Amino acid sequence: MWNFSFICPTLLILFILLIFYFSLPRLGIRQNKVFLKIIIIETLVVISDIVSSVLDNNYQEHPLVLVSVANMLFFVFFMLRAYVLFKFVISVLHIYPRKFPAIKYFVRLPLYLSLVVTAFSPFTGMIYIVNETGYHAGPFYNVTYFCSFFYLGMAFLSFFIKRDVLVRKRELFSLLFYNVIIGAGLIFRILLPNYLLMDTFCLMAILLVYLSFENPEFYLDLRSTAFNRKALTDFLDERAGNQWKNYICLIIHDYSEMRAIYGSTQMDDALHMISDYLNQMFPKSHIFYFSRGRFVILTDSRINKEEACEKIADKFESSWKSELSEVYLNADYVIFSNKENKLSAEVIEGTITTALDRADFINDRRPLYIGAEDIEETKKQLEIERCFEHAIENGKIEAFLQPIIDAESGRIIGAEALARLRDEEGNVIPPHMFIPIAESTGRVHELGVQVFEKACEFIKKSGPEMKGLSWINVNLSPIQMLQADLAEQLESIANKHGVDTELIHLEITEESTIDDYSMQHQIKALKDKGFVLVLDDYGTGYSNLARLKKIPFTTVKLDMDIVLDYYHNPDEVLPMMIKTFKQLGFKITAEGIENEHMSLVLAELGCDYFQGFYYSMPIPMHEFSEKYLKPA
Ligand code: C2E
Ligand code: MG
Ligand code: MG
């Protein structure tokens, strides 16, 4: 009666999947646990389907009770499968029914009812009947379909309500097709019941989600074989409120330098050995490799963290040796007890990263402890990141102006536009707190463009003569200088506002001049568009006069550190530098002038312009106009 052409290969493929799945470490998060249930239940369904079908086909040769129980087990697993297939969808979509007990019980009710009806079926004959004439469907056979279609319907509903959770298109389509395939399996089961096709369709759906969500390698760092950063984030996001509250973190000291010295192959091998060692030492803990030489060990309270650090440090005294490599490394440690367990993954990861960087800097065998103030610091930093993102998205980056004074006349000749950000209360956040964020998130160009745009608006508003100002300086980040169409973009903004590009002086730091070829190209493009170039922060980088000579700067701005240094300990170096620059035809601006005496000393040396708190702090544009610009 039953045909086994599809179900036997299905079982064989399922075995291969099981072997692959169980051969790698798996992360104990909800979604993975549900997937584990799915493959176990699918195996049970397939096996019980084969067994009960064989018994049905040969019912005369077996006790009827055995045939009946085998069928009952099959139906039980069949309905459980429908439920766990649905649970996988809600776990991927981060839907937590436990937060709404009424919904939770409503959703489970069809399963419970179907299970009860099925369990009693050998006595009542409601779902199926096994008698002297063999196996037959019972009067309530459709309960099995009701259960399956109910959970499929719930899965589709959940998908359409919460599909925005899935950011990647591949994941979105996989989850949709997963449900479509299960639906197709049900239809085939109705149309061709004898072919036992439903299990094959379910296996197809399972393979699809295995490939898109559940391959354990997605959560493994392939170099170290520990869990990766994504695993840590998902684990922390989900585990709030349970026993994993203790963190032992370590960072390989001077990781980048060590990688450069030993090379990638040896370092990867060492990471592998460290990871194996940590796994052996903390068999009941979770080991994560947190990128760039950082490991995080999540343990429960039974482990003495200080002793554990001591032990690891002892191990690091000797080399990490294998057939491929021998590497001597040093490590620094951080300990954290997340007692309240209410912190988000973002805060924990940020705090750990900062603390590990500090430990790496201090380089002491003793561990650093993360305290409440470190967490507060991370929260503040994250808040700034959010403010920055918001300001960038909404064009809310402000530009303050700081006057630049002509040394000879003592009058304001220009101004530097300096980026400012405001927090939610309106307090000003200085650039050193958000420019690194802009650089690390790839948004420094957007920031620069907003400041540039505001500088153009200011020039436009001030009228053709700019009421006495000769130019406005705008800073360019070295990252912006790598942007191929920078000159065209800036020119088109200036044109949009009807601003002559010669009124804008672009400040470039020495860092920008390192890559000779692209820089020459960029600088020529900017010059061709009419912009004037200024070398900013001279004296902070490694200066190469021969190279600077080739770049058509108009002005060199001496960094305030060398200005201050000279002011407190005068020597021959700064005067000689200034002399050389003047011979090369550069104008000189001295930054960081904080008192009158400083201005006199630097005027003596031949500086042309001054900028500093002695004259004015950077102030909002409207304030600058009111205070310094001549009325039209
Ligand atoms: P910078 O371009 O060298 O700007 C001068 C910095 O020195 C400003 O700091 C200014 O407030 C500060 N300063 C001026 N006079 C004095 C003084 O007398 N004493 C002291 N102690 N400081 C003085 P600010 O505004 O915090 O900017 C810091 C840096 O952030 C800037 O250094 C610049 O490198 C960067 N930055 C600011 N705005 C932008 C921007 O729009 N784009 C880019 N890429 N970088 C920017
Ligand atoms: Mg500057
Ligand atoms: Mg500067």
In the chain, where are the structural domains located?
7-216, 220-370, 399-420+439-628
- Name, in order, each residue with C-beta under 8 angstroms of 311's C-beta and a sequence gap of 6 or more: 281
Question: In this predicted structure, what is the pLDDT of residue 329?
Answer: 97
- As a whole number, mean pLDDT of residues 17-45 equals 94
Question: In this predicted structure, what is the pLDDT of residue 99?
Answer: 80
608 touches 407 (CB < 8 A)? yes
- Name, in order, each residue with C-beta under 8 angstroms of 46's C-beta and a sequence gap of 6 or more: 7, 10, 11, 14, 199, 203
Please give the Cα distance from 119 to 69 (Å, whole number). Answer: 9
Residue type, 422: R
Question: In this predicted structure, what is the pLDDT of residue 245?
Answer: 85
219, containing H or E segment: none
Pocket probe mutation, ligand 1, options 401, 432, 433, 435, max atoms within 8 Å of Cβ: 435
- Can you name the residues that pair with 70 across neighbouring β-strands? none
State pLDDT tens for residues 493-506: 999 999 999 999 99
Question: In this predicted structure, what is the pLDDT of residue 547?
Answer: 73
- As a whole number, mean pLDDT of residues 613-632 equals 88
Nearest residue by C-alpha to atom 19 in ligand 1: 592
Question: In this predicted structure, what is the pLDDT of residue 424?
Answer: 87
Q: Which of 28-32, 339-343, 518-522, 539-543 has the lowest mean pLDDT?
A: 539-543
User: Among 83, 65, 84, which Cα is nearest to 73's?
Assistant: 65
- Can you name the residues that pair with 453 across neighbouring β-strands? none
Query: Which of the ligands is closest to the CA of residue 417?
Result: 1
Q: Which residue has the tokens 């068999």?
A: 283
Looking at the chain, the whole-number percentage of residues with pLDDT higher than 70 is 98
Measured in whole angstroms, how far is the alpha carbon of residue 529 from the centre of its chain? 38
Q: Which residues of 291-308 are buried (b: 16+ CB within 10 A; e: fewer)?
A: eebbbbbbbeeeeebeeb
User: What integer best gives the mean pLDDT of the chain?
Assistant: 92
State pLDDT tens for residues 174-228: 999 999 999 999 999 999 999 999 999 999 999 999 999 999 999 999 888 899 9
Please give the Cα distance from 472 to 129 (Å, whole number). Answer: 90
- Name, in order, each residue with C-beta under 8 angstroms of 476's C-beta and a sequence gap of 6 or more: 448, 486, 506, 507, 508, 512
Answer yes or no: is pLDDT of 512 > 80: no
State pLDDT tens for residues 66-78: 999 999 999 999 9
Answer yes or no: is pLDDT of 357 > 60: yes
Alpha helices, DSSP H, located in 297-442: 305-317, 345-362, 372-393, 431-440
Please give the Cα distance from 175 to 78 (Å, whole number). Answer: 21
Please give the Cα distance from 610 to 415 (Å, whole number). Answer: 10
Residue type, 433: M
Please give the Cα distance from 395 to 387 (Å, whole number). Answer: 12
Structure tokens at 318: 């000797």
Structure tokens at 483: 């942007």
425, containing H or E segment: none
Please give the Cα distance from 526 to 48 (Å, whole number). Answer: 75
* Cα 578 to ligand 2 centroid, rounded to whole Å: 19
Q: Which of 8-17, 287-296, 399-408, 465-474 has the lowest mean pLDDT?
A: 465-474
Q: Which residue has the tokens 């102030």?
A: 619
Answer yes or no: is pLDDT of 630 > 70: no
Q: What are phi and psi of 291, to 5 degrees?
A: 70, 150
Please give the Cα distance from 302 to 632 (Å, whole number). Answer: 76
Give how far Cα 394 sits from Cα of 247, 328, 447, Å. Answer: 38, 50, 11
Answer yes or no: is pLDDT of 116 > 70: yes
Identify the residue with better confidence: 242 or 309: 309
Answer yes or no: is pLDDT of 632 > 60: no
Q: In terms of residues, how long is the chain?
A: 632
Answer yes or no: is pLDDT of 548 > 80: no
Identify the residue with better confidence: 467 or 435: 435
State pLDDT tens for residues 558-605: 999 999 999 999 899 899 999 999 998 999 999 999 999 999 999 999
Task: Name the 3-class secondary structure at 340.
Answer: coil
- Band of pLDDT at residue 545, cut at 50, 70 and 90: confident
Nearest residue by C-alpha to atom 21 in ligand 1: 592
Answer yes or no: is pLDDT of 17 > 80: yes
* Cα 230 to ligand 1 centroid, rounded to whole Å: 36
* Cα 459 to ligand 1 centroid, rounded to whole Å: 20
* Cα 399 to ligand 1 centroid, rounded to whole Å: 11
Q: Which atom of ligand 1 is nearest to the CA of 594?
A: 18
Question: In this predicted structure, what is the pLDDT of residue 36?
Answer: 96
DSSP 220: B
Domain covering 399-420+439-628 in this structure, CATH number:
3.20.20.450
Please give the Cα distance from 169 to 171 (Å, whole number). Answer: 5
- Name, in order, each residue with C-beta under 8 angstroms of 310's C-beta and a sequence gap of 6 or more: none
Question: In this predicted structure, what is the pLDDT of residue 175?
Answer: 97
Task: Name the 3-class secondary structure at 34.
Answer: helix
53 touches 4 (CB < 8 A)? yes
* Cα 488 to ligand 3 centroid, rounded to whole Å: 25
Question: In this predicted structure, what is the pLDDT of residue 628?
Answer: 84
Q: Which residue has the tokens 């084969």?
A: 50
* Cα 590 to ligand 1 centroid, rounded to whole Å: 13
Nearest residue by C-alpha to atom 29 in ligand 1: 431
Pairing of strands 532-538, 504-509: parallel
Q: Which residue has the tokens 């920031």?
A: 447
Answer yes or no: is pLDDT of 59 > 90: yes
* Cα 539 to ligand 1 centroid, rounded to whole Å: 15
- As a whole number, mean pLDDT of residues 251-262 equals 97
Pocket probe mutation, ligand 1, options 475, 508, 610, max atoms within 8 Å of Cβ: 475
476 touches 507 (CB < 8 A)? yes
State pLDDT tens for residues 363-396: 988 999 999 999 999 999 999 999 999 999 999 9
Q: Which of 205-214, 266-275, 349-358, 537-546 has the lowest mean pLDDT?
A: 537-546
The answer regarding whether domain 7-216 maps to CATH 1.20.1070 reads: yes
Give how far Cα 592 sits from Cα of 475, 478, 563, 588, 620, Å. Answer: 16, 22, 7, 13, 19
- Name, in order, each residue with C-beta under 8 angstroms of 304's C-beta and a sequence gap of 6 or more: none
Q: Count how many Cα atoms sit within 13 Å of the Cα of residue 417 in the half-sphere of its side chain.
A: 30
* Cα 425 to ligand 3 centroid, rounded to whole Å: 28
Cβ of 112: how many Cβ atoms within 10 Å? 12
Q: Which atom of ligand 1 is nearest to the CA of 618?
A: 11
Please give the Cα distance from 2 to 607 (Å, whole number). Answer: 97
Question: In this predicted structure, what is the pLDDT of residue 33?
Answer: 94
Query: Which of the ligands is closest to the CA of residue 512?
Result: 1
Question: In this predicted structure, what is the pLDDT of residue 566?
Answer: 92
- As a whole number, mean pLDDT of residues 235-257 equals 87
Pairing of strands 412-422, 398-406: antiparallel
Class of domain 220-370: alpha beta
Please give the Cα distance from 512 to 519 (Å, whole number). Answer: 7
Q: Which atom of ligand 1 is nearest to the CA of 431?
A: 30
- Band of pLDDT at residue 542, cut at 50, 70 and 90: low
- Name, in order, each residue with C-beta under 8 angstroms of 68's C-beta and a sequence gap of 6 or more: 122, 130
Q: Which atom of ligand 1 is nearest to the CA of 430?
A: 26
Looking at the chain, the whole-number percentage of residues with pLDDT higher than 90 is 81
What are the pocket residues of ligand 1 if the criterion is a CB atom closer than 6 Å to any ligand atom?
402, 418-419, 430-432, 435, 444, 447-448, 451, 475-477, 507, 536-537, 560, 591-594, 611-613, 618
Sign of CA dihedral 108, 111, 117, 118: negative
How far apart are the two ends of the chain, measured CA to CA in Å? 99
DSSP 168: S
Please give the Cα distance from 248 to 303 (Å, whole number). Answer: 10
Q: What are phi and psi of 263, to 5 degrees?
A: 85, 160
Please give the Cα distance from 514 to 88 (Å, whole number). Answer: 52
Please give the Cα distance from 318 to 328 (Å, whole number). Answer: 7
72 touches 124 (CB < 8 A)? no
Q: Which atom of ligand 1 is nearest to the CA of 419?
A: 38
Answer yes or no: is pLDDT of 241 > 60: no
Residue type, 594: E
Answer yes or no: is pLDDT of 240 > 60: no
Give how far Cα 67 sits from Cα of 58, 198, 314, 473, 550, Å. Answer: 9, 21, 63, 88, 92
- Band of pLDDT at residue 631, cut at 50, 70 and 90: low
Question: In this predicted structure, what is the pLDDT of residue 515?
Answer: 66
Nearest residue by C-alpha to atom 45 in ligand 1: 475
